[in-house]
Structure 1
């Protein structure tokens, strides 16, 4: 599940992105309102975390433009503006929640999950491929009704594979999207992660879902 962070303070944005990734989310960042609005309108995000005091285009303007084009996309305003009038302004403009800085990440995480639960049906909570099921809100994975215990990185890899079921994903692409790193051709981090995931997702079951395209990458799909 991908979240967009629109925040002009680099350290805050980086720390927030890192914490969200540790919780199994994918996170993109934009440091000004114009870039943030462009990403929010052109990419597929589950939720936007939006600062108000932004360069180039303030958060109020971004919120109004975003809700006019994609009203169902959840937005949480995260700002130092703590006046009641600002909270009311944000909520009346269509924000799904409003949190004042400084904040506890645990509270923000709880608010994110609460907003996602209320999100429209198209913000899918469940993903299924054959008898493999992922509940992205509760962070649960099962296969053939059997609960699977995945490490956080394994969950992130599987989440991305399931969101792109049937697509061949190169090692470079996985490195960039899941690990947020430049792929080193000599590194086996992706292959090692897939091996660990297969032991839990595929090895105990007759039907294998994770397939290797030698020299290219991986695909999650049902094959006859």
Structure 2
């Protein structure tokens, strides 16, 4: 019995190690939107993000919006160019989470507005033009973002709780907000909960 239990534990440990190695490879292989940490408030980072180019659409559902944008980076653009996906996933903090590794922003106010962030090699002039009328290229100016990091599954309740903690910290430090909170996820769907990198964030006034 002890031997069987030891073997079973060894198998489980090997599976966890395998998932961990795959997760590390995925993070190394995936381009991440760059930033510079300009200040810290305990467990909150104030980050400066550079100007970036995004591709955006609004649809009746997140699935439909994702499909449009994925088709764009898969080659449904004027140059028929395949574009690498980057990280993180970004969506409104109060919305349902999305299981993917992609540069995405979603807002559910008028349907599902979703954004993919393009790799740093592209600017608004060089990025391939969408062939779908409902897909649009946009440029986001440099911004300062306050970020709080957490792990495990990013359920709506957990995101709401972490967002409240983030906003309370900023309020206590008298940091003025410049936008609405959102969520950023960095991992593939199969990532083990304790290995996940999740963040809640909000744009703040750039006085740092």
TM range (shorter): under 0.3
Greater helix content: 1
- 1 or 2 for the larger relative contact order (CA 8 Å, sep ≥6)? 2
